[in-house]
Amino acid sequence: PMTIRAAIVGYGNLGKSVEKLIRAQPDMDLVGIFSRRSELGTDTPVFPAASAADHAQDIDVLFLCLGSATDIPEQAPGYARHFTTVDTYDNHHLIPDHYATMDAAARQGGNVAMISTGWDPGLFSLNRTLASALFPDAQQNTFWGKGLSQGHSDAVRRVPGVRRGVQYTIPNEEAIVEAKAGRGAEISATSAHVRECYVVADEADHAAIREAITTMPDYFAPYDTTVHFISDEVFERDHQGMPHGGHVVTSGDLGGSRSSVEFVLELESNPDFTAASQVAYGRAAARLKAEGKTGAFTVLEVAPYLLSPVALEELIRRDV
Ligand SMILES: NC(=O)C1=CN([C@@H]2O[C@H](COP(=O)(O)OP(=O)(O)OC[C@H]3O[C@@H](n4cnc5c(N)ncnc54)[C@H](OP(=O)(O)O)[C@@H]3O)[C@@H](O)[C@H]2O)C=CC1
Ligand SMILES: N[C@@H](C[C@H]1CC(C(=O)O)=NO1)C(=O)O
């Protein structure tokens, strides 16, 4: 099997987790990290993000660990022209647009662009498609949290005046019980979750920041959203962990019998788990590229064995 030469762009929560997990792979070497900053406090080689294209010949797969709110739309197509890329783009409403843009960019460079990996989108997408395909009339609901959404936290941090920010997603627990019992038809993501933001910012900016967050399309406008302003000390004390998790609950009738399917995640670290998914899909992206494939792929189009460092023959013996 090939040794995959990997690199990272964007050394934030996700980038640090991807670095840690690439090091744990038997078939991957970490070539370097591309960053806007020069001092990252890691012994991995660091290069200016602007110089990434100069290194394209040394890299089989580039992990885009950028924010989805603005970085990915602005930067990802440029990387896809020079590299096979893997991203965790999670603004669901705009994923079809992202797919088309990345497909064109990747094909231009003869590369693969593996998009929207992670857990939602990502593993939850896989389970939503798999579970709903089993039932003629599936009832399906997705729940997240209670936990820290990195995508929503990134979106909060991009609001002018926000110095530090996080967002917690809180599900209505009764809604989860109802969905598990097959009574989820009236339950929607926006009715079943509230969003709580914690922000450090100057008092003079509070009103404008609250308005910008609560009216933000896709991320917050459809939800009951609350913005709390806190001090830097309280932020430091109370908002360091990034746990998360969720459920995809699917049920229905199968010609007279009822069945239900539940896919549950409990994550001590959202970045670490997201990185685990992104790294596995990075393996698949490098293999698809090596097979001569080009263009964009979502997790729905990737055969599961491509995710594993274990040979297919062994997987058939072990897992089938
Ligand atoms: N699909 C899924 O299940 C999941 C998806 N995600 C996605 O991962 C994304 C990244 O999350 P996270 O790592 O927590 O975000 P961070 O804010 O911690 O990191 C983003 C990184 O992007 C780089 N960057 C590039 N341009 C800019 C810019 N203009 N301003 C700020 N940073 C910039 C920075 O790296 P540097 O300074 O080194 O250049 C920064 O550290 C989220 O936005 C979310 O959409 C996260 C979890 C789950
Ligand atoms: N993409 C999410 C992963 C899950 C969490 C989530 C939410 O809390 O709204 N939606 O999808 C993230 O960035 O953490």
ipTM: 0.98
Q: Which atom of ligand 1 is nearest to the CA of 117?
A: 1
* Closest ligand to Cα 146: 2
Specify the pLDDT at position 35.
98
| Pocket of ligand 1 from Cβ distances under 6 Å | 10-14, 35-37, 49, 65-68, 71, 88, 90, 118-122, 150-151, 154, 270, 274
- Tell me how far apart the alpha carbons of residues 296 and 82 are, in angstroms, rounded to a whole number: 14
The predicted pLDDT at position 227 comes to: 98
pLDDT of residue 268: 98
Pocket test for ligand 1, best of 36, 119, 142, 156 (most atoms within 8 A of CB): 36
Residue 2 near residue 25 (C-beta atoms within 8 A): no
Give the pair of three-digit tokens for residue 108: 């231009």
Per-residue pLDDT of the chain (320 residues; tens, 9 = 90+): 689 999 999 999 999 999 999 999 999 999 999 999 999 999 999 999 999 999 999 999 999 999 999 999 999 999 999 999 999 999 999 999 999 999 999 999 999 999 999 999 999 999 999 999 999 999 999 999 999 999 999 999 999 999 999 999 999 999 999 999 999 999 999 999 999 999 999 999 999 999 999 999 999 999 999 999 999 999 999 999 999 999 999 999 999 999 999 999 999 999 999 999 999 999 999 999 999 999 999 999 999 999 999 999 999 999 99
- pTM of the entire structure? 0.98
Which of 120, 168, 225, 278 for mutating ligand 2's site (highest number of atoms within 8 Å of CB)?
120
Distance CA 134, CA 138 (A): 8
Give the residue, by CA position, lying nearest to ligand 1 atom 27: 71
The per-residue pLDDT for 297 is 99
Determine the pLDDT at residue 2: 84
What pLDDT score does 25 carry?
A: 98
pLDDT given for residue 100 in this prediction:
98
